[in-house]
Structures are given as C-alpha cells and as structure tokens.
Structure 1
Amino acid sequence: MEKHRILIVEDDIEIAGLIMNHLKERSYRVTWASTGTEGWEDFQSQSFDMAIIDLMLPEMDGFTLCKNIRWSSPIPLLILSARHEEDDKIKGLKLGADDYLTKPFSLRELEARIESQLRRYGRYHSQAQPAEKWTFAHGLEIFPEKKTAEINGVEACLTVKEFALLCLMANNPHRTFSKKELYEHIWEQNDVDGNNTVTVHIKSLRTKLKDPLKTPYFIQTVWGNGYRFVGAASHEN
C-alpha cells in the first residue's frame, strides 16, 4: 500500500538521493525538485501531503518557498538547513514551517519527524472537511474547486489571475500583502520598479465584486503597504 506523497526541494544531489531512496523504500511517493522555483511549480501542479525544503536554494530560497506554500496550503513543512543560526530557525517557523532539522541529520530521525508531522496533519485533515464554498457578508461566495466567485448569486466573471488574487487574500484574511508579494506569488516572476500589474488587476477585481473603494467590503488598500482582505466570513454553507 502506497503511503503519502512528499515533495523534496534540495539542490544537493547526494542528500536528495539519500532521502528519496530512504523514503521510497518505505513506500512514500516522492517528487524531487532541485531549485525553489521548480519546487513551487511542482507544488502547484501536483498534490502533496508534506514538503521537505532546504533553505539555501537557487532561484527561489527556501524561506520564500515556505511562505508561498503556506499561503496556499496547510500541509506540513519541514525545513532542512546546514545553518545553525537560531534566527533562521525562528524565521522559518514564523513563515509557517512545522519543523526544522539541521544538517547533518540521521535518516531515522528524519523519518520519525515525517511520521510525526503526517500523523498530526492526518488528524487535522480528517476533522476539517474542505468547504465547497467560502461565504462572506455582502453577498460574496467563492467556490475554490470550481474557481468561480459570485456576488449576490451572479457570477463575477473573474480572470484566472483575479481569482487567484482573491483566493490568496481571502484564505489569509487581514494579512497585508505587498504588491511585490502578490506579483511574485501569482505571476511567479520577479517584480520590477514601475510594475502596475497588481494595481490594475486589483482595480478590476474590485469593480467585478462591486466593492466600494472608500468603505470596502472585501479588499482594503493599506496605504504605502499593499492590500488585505477584510470580508466578514459567514458560517452559512
């Protein structure tokens, strides 16, 4: 019987090979990425039960990858690092990582930590059934699986990027996202000075949601910082 699916993001081929072989021998289904960007692409295109992420990665560092995954999913995140600094550990945990293992480590300890995190996640996952829709005051309903949103029963006809922006912010209510964070997370490209892409999409999204600019129901501008979702969740389902 196959076990859980695990994403390994590690640029050291020898370490990645050791971990993959060890986990495959124990029937885990393993996907390996050698860069942060590749890991993020794999995460978005496949379904995983856990991610093991090295901090020092090319293209996108492990901190950024952890942050991106955590904004989108509650799966367990285990950080691997050769760095022993306490600040790195604290930063990783604050970004949403569930555990931190310093190199060098034993494969038996890694396996035990994986099993522990998956047990906890399994208990949480069995209790928290995914909602078919997210319901908010002022008539907003978001349907994550169908990738659609409605206002007072009428489809808002959002573009793919507009829907992704809405879901990201609604899934992290009252968290202020900078334009840079939104652009790099949704468009998966480095932001550059003078880039108006996020501003244009947020303006269009607000129009389609009939969201008043001065007294917003859903998306609030945090002047000088970015945007945050302020919609009041309803327990109606």
Structure 2
Amino acid sequence: MTKQSILVVDDHKEITELIYHYLVEFGFDVVTKNNPREVFAAVEQQKPDLVILDIMMPGMDGIEVCKELRKTSNLPILFLSSRKDDVDKVLALGVGGDDYITKPFSPRELVARVQAHLRRNSLLLPLVQQQPASLKFENMEIDPDTHIVTAYGNTINLSAKEFDLLFQLASYPNRLFNSEQLFEIIWGGDSLGDLRTVMVHLSTLRRKIEKDPANPAFISTIRGVGYKFIGQPQGQD
C-alpha cells in the first residue's frame, strides 16, 4: 500500500523536525521545508496528499502561500499558528485553508486532524467520480469531474472544501442542512474542529459565487435553522 505524503512548512526547523517524527511514526511519508518559497516546487515534484503550513513566516507568510496554491491545487491545507486570535482563523479558512491548529498542539490532535482530512478526501473523491453529470441551474453550472464552477458565465476558483460544500448543497436543491450536518458530511463526523468553520467557508463561498452576497441568489441562510441551495435543476448531461 502506497504511503500518503505530507508536506510540512515552517520556518522553525525544530518544529518541522518534531512534526516529521510524529507523522513518520504513524506511517506517513513526510517532506519538510523551512523556506515558504520552496513550497510550490515541492508540491509540483512531490505531489503531497496534504500540506501543513505555518502562518507566520518571514518573506512570504502562510496566507500568501495558500492563496498561490489555491490557484492550481485543491489539496487539503492545515494551518499552524501560535496566535489564538479568531481573526487569524477566519482569514486562514477564508483564503482556502481546510483546518487551523494553534501552537502548542498535542501530537495526537495533529495526527488526528491529518488523518481525518485525508480520510474525508479519499471518501469524497469516489463519490464525486460516481456522478459524472454536471449540475446545471440558472446562472450556474457545477462540474464534479473537473471541479470547475461557472456562475453568471464566469469561472470561479474554489478551494476543495468550498467546492464540496457547494456540490453537497446543490445536489439537494431547496433542502435544508444545518451546520452540524454539513460539518459531518464535509469534514467528517469524527473530525476535530469548530462548527464556525462551516460558517466561514460558506461566507467565503458566497463572496465568490454571488453577485450580491448580502442578498444571495444561490445559497440561502434560514436563521436558526440552516442553509439551502436555491434553484431548480436544468437538463443534465
């Protein structure tokens, strides 16, 4: 069985070495980088299954790295930070991060988060592949084969989790999902995390797909109840 590969990026060598030993012990192949600008070549050459990325790095911080990666890649990105400020967490998730862990962290929590995201990705991929037909609505098309979303004729660049959320909601138009259900479906029922992650990802998703996020045409919030995709499916391929 092929080992899953993790790319760990932190400007502190002692941190990358510590995480390296944690993950290797659990059977992962691990590549470490201390220079954030080396990430892009490493992703291209090593093709990791997940990236662990520190936020505070000199020269190019983790937020900038994530933005660049999201232009070409949907692989899971797990942020590390020594800051517990919710603003940083919202920013990290808003640029396409899949999870956020504050330092100091326990080895078990880190490994559990990594395993949960890898497991979730492996489960979602075959599910998407089983549905070759695009989802078509007025002013929107969602292609699960290519992960390409078009809204109002424009191609929208979404992170993996943003796409998964949109695809889940659009697969069941006009059906309500609460935050707990969406968190369980997209992040995994046994994933360690915060339900605010759902809110942050949906807020970012709306900014990308809606002409007026304050008056959404695609994803509606029913206050105190949940979220639903608005629209009637059109003819499918």
Name the TM-score, length of structure 1 as normaliser.
0.54
Aligned length: 143
Deviations 1:79-128 (A, max 9, x none): 00011111110000001111100000111110011111111111112223
Among 157, 163, 170, the alignment partner of 1:172 is 157
Higher relative contact order (CA 8 A, sep 6+): 2
Task: Measure how far apart 1:31 and its partner are.
Answer: 0.9
8 Å CA contact retained: 1:79, 1:99: yes
8 Å CA contact retained: 1:5, 1:50: yes
Equivalent in the alignment of 1:40: 40
Change (3 A) 1:28 1:171: farther
Q: Are residues 1:103 and 2:88 paired? A: no
Structure 1 letter corresponding to 2:6: I
Deviations 1:184-219 (A, max 9, x none): xxxxxxxxxxxxxxxxxxxxxxxxxxxxxxxxxxxx
Change (3 A) 1:64 1:55: same
Equivalent in the alignment of 1:18: 18
Change (3 A) 1:111 1:49: same
RMSD: 2.8
Structure 2: gaps (5+ residues) = 135-145, 147-153, 159-234
Equivalent in the alignment of 2:128: 128
Task: Measure how far apart 1:22 and its partner are.
Answer: 1.3
Q: CA–CA distance in 2 between the matches of 1:97 and 1:111?
A: 17
Q: CA–CA distance in 2 between the matches of 1:30 and 1:72?
A: 22
Equivalent in the alignment of 2:82: 82
Structure 1: gaps (5+ residues) = 135-144, 146-168, 174-233
SS at match of 2:71: helix
Summarize the alignment of residues 69-218 of structure 1 with structure 2, pairs less than 5 Å apart: 69-129=69-129, 170=155, 172=157
Structure (1 or 2) with the larger CA radius of gyration: 1
Identity %: 39
Equivalent in the alignment of 1:220: none
Q: CA–CA distance in 2 between the matches of 1:32 and 1:171?
A: 31
Structure 2 letter corresponding to 1:112: A
Change (3 A) 1:104 1:96: same
Q: CA–CA distance in 2 between the matches of 1:105 and 1:12?
A: 15
Q: CA–CA distance in 2 between the matches of 1:84 and 1:75?
A: 24
Q: CA–CA distance in 1 between the matches of 2:20 and 2:156?
A: 32
Q: CA–CA distance in 2 between the matches of 1:61 and 1:44?
A: 19
Structure 1 letter corresponding to 2:15: I
Change (3 A) 1:29 1:235: farther
SS at match of 1:30: strand
8 Å CA contact retained: 1:53, 1:78: yes
Task: Measure how far apart 1:129 and its partner are.
Answer: 3.7
Task: Measure how far apart 1:170 and its partner are.
Answer: 4.9
Name the TM-score, length of structure 2 as normaliser.
0.54
Change (3 A) 1:171 1:6: farther
Change (3 A) 1:52 1:40: same
SS at match of 1:8: strand
